[in-house]
Structure 1
Amino acid sequence: MTRPVLQAIDFDPQDDIRSAWPSGLTEMPALWIVDAVRHGDGAERLAPAILDTGEQRRAERFVRPADRRCYVAAHVALRILLGDRMGVDPRDVRIVRESCPSCGGPHGRPATGGGVHFSLSHSRDVSLLAFAAVPLGVDVQAVPDGEATAEIRAMLHPVEARELAALPAADRPAAFARTWTRKEAYLKGEGIGLARDLSLDHVGTGPVPRPGPAGWSLTDVQVPAGYAAAVAVRTAGQSSVQGGHQRK
């Protein structure tokens, strides 16, 4: 998949958000980035008239103001973009959860029932929103420090763990973040999330992802320094969350 174009969102004026939708959604995802530091105040002003009761309550539960600001900015942007695409008021967008493909519980992919597939991710002050005509997942993560990388890398596919171990210590955090976001984007697209064993799928640690799991295309997303991001889009065929790439 060709690397998709990443568009920035500015909440002031609000109309700027709506100016760059593609003429028709396809398998190529439309991506927007939200900078909560620059535009959090604008999102806060719009939030009371846009977020539903559940979202407002969840925002109030965040202890750290920065976390609350990032959540509000991401969800205000999501509702504005979905509302514009679906031709309804942002407050009237109904967001539900599909069934989990693993256990059948009501915690699968978020959906609208309106023919627009979307995914959202946020980390620190950056949020990514992705939209397409087919199921997809997106993930953004702040690059961890070396200690966190060493603690978590054992959770990855054995080949990925060996690849990380072979790198100079200074290069491991960025490589780990690439791998993690690719995996999480795919698993969010599947609707199962991190309930699936991260060691089952080999997506690679290098600058270019390996071919995605069956039925999925993985692409890294260029984001600000200090972050890594990826998007996974369903392509021809069906992937199976029960299977996985063979360990080596």
Structure 2
Amino acid sequence: MTTPRAPRVVGRDPLPAAVPGAWPARPPETWLLSVSGFTADLDADAPGKVLDAEERERAAAFVRAEDRERYVAAHLGLRQLLGAYLGVEPAAVAFTREPCPGCGGPHGRPAVPGHPLHFNMSHAGDLVLFAFAGGPVGADVEKVQPLSVVDQVTGSLHPRERAELAALPAAARPAAFARCWTRKEAYLKGIGTGLSQDPAADYVGTGVQPVPVGPWTLVDLPVGHAVPGAADGPAPDYAAALALREATRSG
């Protein structure tokens, strides 16, 4: 696999064109949304016109304004992108749920019924990451945490990953942990379990090269270009990763 390009930016780059029959052969694509930038340009009537009743109800349930703003921006952005890929208006995008891989119930990954397009979404801080592919895909973006937090949660990693982090100088551990954690969450979201599966069960590595897990390829994504003030390079306070089934890999 070639080195991935930085994700395109919602609100700055042209929206994708709908190409009938292109999935699953179309290469996976990733997008980033800056919540602050997207919200600043947002039509105040957009949530009421575009989001469905369930989304509006969930948005209204958030106590903190920043959480509500992030949720609304993420779901408007998702609908905008899905509408462009599918060739429909964002408000017309219909969602369903795949079967849960654990119990088989109808509360697994979100999907668009009757279409081979798969997607995944993650948000952290000011960023929302979207991934689209012709097969199962997982994505995760995280803020790099301070060393005190890293030391508290390192025990939840695979034993080899814990050993790798312990061998690093303190200053290098937060970035290495962020690489590892985003790969791990992207993979777990891709297989559909999320963190209900023990994150210590699979080894994805903490180094600069991700380690594949079975048929899944893990890719670190540069995410700086959507962050205000970081247009010339990666944002040092964020990490992101993509997980792709073998059939959805691009070369």
TM range (shorter): 0.7 to 0.9
In structure 2, the partner of 1:201 is 202
In structure 1, the partner of 2:239 is 228
TM-score under structure 1 normalisation? 0.87
Q: Matched residue of 2:41: which SS?
A: helix
In structure 1, the partner of 2:133 is 132
The alpha carbon displacement at 1:104 in A equals 1.5
1:186-217: CA deviation from partner (whole Å, max 9, x where unpaired): 1111111100011111000011101x111111
In structure 1, the partner of 2:160 is 159
Tell me how far apart the structure 2 counterparts of residues 91 and 152 of structure 1 sit (CA, whole Å): 40
In structure 2, the partner of 1:244 is none
In structure 2, the partner of 1:191 is 192
In structure 1, the partner of 2:100 is 100
Q: Which runs of 4+ in 1 moved over 6 A?
A: 20-23
Q: Cα–Cα, structure 1 residues 150 and 215, in superposed 2: closer, same or farther, change >3 Å?
A: same
- Percent identity over the alignment? 47
Is the aligned partner of 1:32 residue 2:31? yes
Q: Matched residue of 2:242: which SS?
A: strand
1:149-171: CA deviation from partner (whole Å, max 9, x where unpaired): 11111110000001011111111
TM-score under structure 2 normalisation? 0.86
Q: Matched residue of 2:131: which SS?
A: strand
Q: Show structure 2 runs of 5+ residues with no match.
A: 225-234
Q: Is the contact made by 2:51 and 2:76 (CA closer than 8 Å) also made in structure 1? A: yes
Q: Is the contact made by 1:82 and 1:93 (CA closer than 8 Å) also made in structure 2? A: yes
In structure 2, the partner of 1:62 is 62
Q: Is the contact made by 2:50 and 2:76 (CA closer than 8 Å) also made in structure 1? A: yes
Q: Show structure 1 runs of 5+ residues with no match.
A: 238-248
Q: Is the contact made by 2:188 and 2:195 (CA closer than 8 Å) also made in structure 1? A: yes
Q: RMSD of aligned C-alpha atoms?
A: 2.0
The alpha carbon displacement at 1:27 in A equals 6.3
Tell me how far apart the structure 2 counterparts of residues 160 and 84 of structure 1 sit (CA, whole Å): 40
In structure 2, the partner of 1:176 is 177
Q: Which has the higher contact order (CA 8 A, sep 6+)?
A: 2
Q: Cα–Cα, structure 1 residues 195 and 19, in superposed 2: closer, same or farther, change >3 Å?
A: closer
In structure 2, the partner of 1:87 is 87
